[in-house]
Amino acid sequence: MTWLGSIGQAIAGGVTDALDVAARLGVDPTFVRDKLGTRSLPRLQQGFGTADLAVEAVRDALSRWAGDTGQLRVLVVCTQSPDGEGLPHTAAIVQQRVGLARNLAAFDISLGCSGYVYGLAVVEGMLHSTGGYGLLVTADPYSRMINPDDRDTALLFGDAATATILGPEGTWCLGARRFATDGSGAAALERRGGRFHMAGRQVFNFAATRVPEQLSELLCSEALEPRDIDQWILHQGSRYIVETIANRMGLPLDRVPVALERTGNTVSSSIPLILRHCGDRPDLRRIVLSGFGVGLSWASMILTREANDGSTKGGQASNLIGVGGKHVPQRGARE
Amino acid sequence: MATSLTAFQVLEIVRAAQTRIQLDALTPSASLRDIGADSLDMMTILLDVQTAAGVEIPDADVGKLTTVDSIVEYVSRLAS
């Protein structure tokens, strides 16, 4: 059983005002506010790179963790925008700069907005081999490949990174999950000539149909109903896509957070950024995560908190009783 | 299998789509963009039309589908 512990974050220091960009590109500001949901878009400043964001996020996660860094055995970095020419892999750079031990498996995985859910499962799988604790880092500063004049993307993406500690102790238990891929839609989200291109309608159609299907299948497999889920943390593609998925599934919007205003769409970091903020809420017992994007790729997972009455369901989490007392208080929690 | 849709069915799709369209101005011949639909609203409407009619609407044709009438005619052509 693998638990999710502290989550660190790093938000890029520069800021672009989405409304300024909207004015320049002739986009209605109410569209930006009500449909995209963005306002401030963090931007990597000159001289900073993906590894810088990743290192900051790892340091933040470690500062909130009561464990010993010597117990870290796995470091996975999810990125599709590594520094330089992508060689060496970002995980090796982060290992050295944070000063982590050499007996650490460190590698990158290449996924976009589904990357956090995939990454959780990858780290969990590695921990079966290595024991100890693992770190999952998400870092994809898309601003470096966004065309500033592209109305489809220039108002949407922000630069951020997160780092999540996983191991035999923590707050949330990884439960049932589903993964899917449809490479026939790959051209809808791709980098060409160094620029990011998004075919908005294809991506919308994909997310509005495939994600609800997968979520329904996931819940059905665990004999759960939507009302059994306290929080649905969906990838923050845009306010509109989050609300569309929620509406199509008949979910109450107060259980489906939208949090793009100050960060924009941060690719694989959008889910952990929300989880970091709501993960400590004692009223939440069961959370669903769902990421979707580049590939096309989509993945969903149930997280469960220990239940005192044995009623918690959700894949592996049904066996949570008896694991009590393994929660590690987060040190220096700050928001 | 592709099936035609009536104007009544398409009007129902538009009404149910939770868009910013002024529903009191919605008629089969009204320009959906003129009565409040933005690009994302149009994506939702056309996705629901695709699902209801069992057809695929390529991007190249989206610009032609500006009214309920034009959608009905377009789908009818595909279905036949």
| pLDDT tens column, A47-98 | 999 999 999 999 999 999 999 999 999 999 999 999 988 899 999 999 999 9
**Gap from B24 CA to chain A (nearest CA, Å):** 21
pLDDT band at residue A280, thresholds of 50, 70 and 90?
Answer: confident
* Range(s) of the domain holding residue B24: 7-79
What is the per-residue pLDDT for A254?
A: 95
> Which of A147-156, A164-173, A326-335 has the weakest average pLDDT?
A326-335
pLDDT band at residue A114, thresholds of 50, 70 and 90?
Answer: very high
**Would you say residue A309 has pLDDT above 80?**
no
| Contact check, Cβ <8 Å, B47/A31 | no
What is the per-residue pLDDT for A329?
A: 30
Identity at A123, one-letter amino acid code: V
Find the residue in B nearest to A204 (Cα).
B43
CA distances (Å), B4 to each of A88, A205, B47, in order? 56, 21, 15
**Would you say residue B1 has pLDDT above 80?**
no
| Contact check, Cβ <8 Å, A35/B47 | no
User: Does residue B65 belong to any structural domain of this protein?
Assistant: yes
Does B80 contact A at CB distance below 8 Å? Answer: no
Active site residue A113: yes
Does B16 contact A at CB distance below 8 Å? Answer: no
Find the residue in B nearest to A202 (Cα).
B59
**Would you say residue A324 has pLDDT above 60?**
no
User: Does residue B2 belong to any structural domain of this protein?
Assistant: no
Q: Are A178 and A121 in contact (CB under 8 A)?
A: no
CA distances (Å), B75 to each of A204, A241, B11, B43, B54, in order? 21, 25, 14, 16, 9
What is the per-residue pLDDT for A321?
A: 24
d(CA A47, CA A53) in angstroms, rounded, equals 12
User: Does residue B39 belong to any structural domain of this protein?
Assistant: yes
Identity at A102, one-letter amino acid code: R
**Would you say residue A22 has pLDDT above 90?**
yes
Active site residue A327: no
| pLDDT tens column, A204-218 | 999 999 999 999 999
User: Does residue B16 belong to any structural domain of this protein?
Assistant: yes
Q: Which positions ≥6 away from A147 have C-beta within 8 Å?
A: A153, A154, A195, A196
d(CA A121, CA B38) in angstroms, rounded, equals 38
Q: Output the six-digit token pair for A97.
A: 């700069």
pLDDT band at residue A331, thresholds of 50, 70 and 90?
Answer: very low
Contacts of A244 in chain B (CB under 8 A): 44
Nearest to B38 among A35, A199, A247 (CB): A35
Which CATH number characterizes residue B56's domain? 1.10.1200.10
Domain count, chain B: 1
| pLDDT tens column, A221-276 | 999 999 999 999 999 999 999 999 999 999 999 999 999 999 999 999 999 999 99
Q: What is the ipTM of this complex?
A: 0.87
What is the enclosing helix (H) or strand (E) of A89? Answer: none
pTM (predicted TM-score): 0.89
What is the per-residue pLDDT for A312?
A: 46
What is the per-residue pLDDT for B19?
A: 86
Task: Walk me through the domains of chain A, giving residue ranges and CATH numbers.
Answer: 3-169 (3.40.47.10), 173-319 (3.40.47.10)
Active site residue A78: no
**Would you say residue A135 has pLDDT above 90?**
yes
Q: What percent of chain B has pLDDT over 70?
A: 100
Peptide bond into A296 cis (omega under 30): yes
